[in-house]
Amino acid sequence: MSKKRTVLTFLTALMAVLVLSLLGLAMGSVGLSVDELLPAVREPGSIGAVILWKLRLPRVLGALLSGMALSTAGVLLQSVSDNELCAPNVIGVNAGAGLGVMVLLCFLPGAFYLLPVAAFAGALLTTILVLLVSETASSGSRQTSMILAGVAVSALLNAGISFLSQRYPDVLSSYVYFSTGNFNGVYMKDLWIPGPLILLGTVGAFFLTPGLNLLCLGEDQAASLGIPIRLIKNTSLILASCLCGASVSYAGMLGFVGLMVPHMSRRLVGTDLRVVLPFSAILGSALVILADLAGRVLFAPAEIAAGVFLSLLGAPFFLYLLLRRRRT
């Protein structure tokens, strides 16, 4: 792909994020026109200002950060595993983060500031467990073993979440919230810790892309070039877990973003991860903002969780990838 076309594609994606963000600020159960948005910026005490700053802005920013986190995590996991079907929700990383959050809510209900830590720990332990199971599997390809291991581990983790939600019914509403993936009720205070983690994790992931590009050529060839394979893999897994955990800590278990967006990005900007990863971060942000906006507008004044729309898109996409792999 030519450099000019790549730049144009990036600019288009950035413009989409900007337009969708502005629509997210203006649209909802109570619409705000351009004439109302500008006074709301200048008059902190007005009703429009409360809607804009306390409700709409945190929601749009949270969706933007979640899309960035899950898309970047998807690129890292697919690159490290050499598996195009690998994604946070497919191999159970999201469920692991969700279980970590549920354990904290059940046993330390007052320690909300530890939510990102609990989500990260659950995501990281799940990633390690899935990799260990897939590497020790005695039959089938490693790629297939990872998917099967992820499905099994995800089922186990979801069973744990269901058990805790029934054992501690007071957190059932929190379980429903996390299982669907929703930005309703996200406030700025919820983003103070996850936000910087997502930004730092995305920047850190970008610095891994040269090594990941070589790793995609094969481990033997990468090792012959002096690439520290184990270090790159472990760092990528830690960053992917951190990104998933940070997103889950406030947005819940959004599915299929990390699966769809890397594929779409490779189709649009090529296979160089130095380009794919930042473009995926932008495209993922646009996709999640759009899903949240659709949930607010299409059935207003009622709301549908963003995770529902993402699942409606992601499930057929996953089936398409499975059928394509079978034909090839």
Q: Is the pTM value of this prediction over 0.75?
A: yes
Report yes or no: 149 and 91 within 8 Å, Cβ to Cβ.
yes
pLDDT digits (tens, 9 = 90+) for 47-87: 667 777 788 899 999 999 999 999 999 999 888 887 787 88
Buried b / exposed e along 249-286 (16+ C-beta atoms within 10 A): bbbbbbbbbbbbbbbbbbebbeeebebbbbbbbbbbbb
pLDDT tens digits for 273-321?
999 999 999 999 999 999 999 988 888 777 888 888 898 888 888 788 7
CB 94 within 8 A of CB 255: yes
Contact 73, 126 (CB under 8 A): no
Give residue-wise pLDDT tens across range 29-55. 666 655 566 665 666 666 667 777 788
